Amino acid sequence: MKVIGLIIVLVCGGLLISGTSDFPEWSDPSSPASTYLSPHYIEKTMEETSVPNIVTAVLADYRGYDTMFETTVVFSAAMACFFLLRIFKSSQKKVEERLYRHIPTGVTLRIKKGGKLPEASYEFERIDSAWVPHDLIIQTTTRLIMPFVQLFALYVIAHGHHSPGGGFQGGVILGAAVILFAISRNLRAAIQRMGERASAILCAAGVFIYAGTGFLCLLMNANYLDYSALGGILGVDPITARSHGILIVEIGVGLSVMTAMIWIYYNLSSVGKHDEGL
% of the chain residues with pLDDT over 90? 50
pLDDT at 272: 83
pLDDT at 11: 95
% of the chain residues with pLDDT over 70? 94
Query: Given pLDDT bands bounded at 50, 70 and 90, which one contains residue 94?
Result: low
Query: Given pLDDT bands bounded at 50, 70 and 90, which one contains residue 90?
Result: low
Contact between residue 149 and residue 177 where contact means Cβ atoms under 8 Å apart: yes
pLDDT at 223: 92
Cα–Cα separations (whole angstroms), residue 143 to 171, 183, 259? 19, 12, 20
pLDDT in tens, 243-253: 999 999 999 99
pLDDT at 244: 93
pLDDT at 25: 83
Lowest mean pLDDT among 66-70, 108-112, 178-182: 108-112
Lowest mean pLDDT among 146-150, 197-201, 267-271: 267-271
Q: Which residue has the higher pLDDT, 117 or 179?
A: 179
Asked if residue 92 has pLDDT above 60, the reply is no
Residue count (the chain): 278
Give me the sign of the Cα torsion angle 261, 262, 266, 272: negative
- Three-state SS string over the chain comes to CHHHHHHHHHHHHHHHHHHHHHCCCCCCCCCHHHHHHHHHHHHHHHHHHCCCCHHHHHHHHHCHHHHHHHHHHHHHHHHHHHHHHCCCHHHCCCCCEEEEEECCCCCEEEEECCCCCCCCCCCEEEECCCCCCCCHHHHHHHHHHHHHHHHHHHHHHHCCCCCCCCHHHHHHHHHHHHHHHHHHCCHHHHHHHCCHHHHHHHHHHHHHHHHHHHHHHHHCCCCCCCHHHHHHHHCCCHHHHHHHHHHHHHHHHHHHHHHHHHHHHHHHHCCCCCCCCC
Residue 11 exposure: Cα atoms within 13 Å on the Cβ side: 6
Query: Given pLDDT bands bounded at 50, 70 and 90, which one contains residue 125?
Result: confident
Query: Given pLDDT bands bounded at 50, 70 and 90, which one contains residue 77?
Result: very high
Asked if residue 124 has pLDDT above 80, the reply is no
Contact between residue 31 and residue 24 where contact means Cβ atoms under 8 Å apart: yes
Q: Please state the separation of Cα 106 from the chain's center in Å.
A: 36
Lowest mean pLDDT among 69-73, 213-217, 268-272: 268-272
By C-alpha distance, which of 100, 270, 254 is closest to 196? Answer: 270
Give me the sign of the Cα torsion angle 196, 202, 206, 207: positive
Asked if residue 117 has pLDDT above 90, the reply is no
Query: Given pLDDT bands bounded at 50, 70 and 90, which one contains residue 74?
Result: very high
Query: Given pLDDT bands bounded at 50, 70 and 90, which one contains residue 136?
Result: confident
Lowest mean pLDDT among 32-41, 77-86, 197-206: 32-41
Q: Which residues pair with 124 in a beta bridge?
A: 102
64 Cβ neighbours under 8 A, 6+ residues apart: 214, 225, 249
CB atoms within 10 A of CB 74: 22
pTM, two decimal places: 0.81
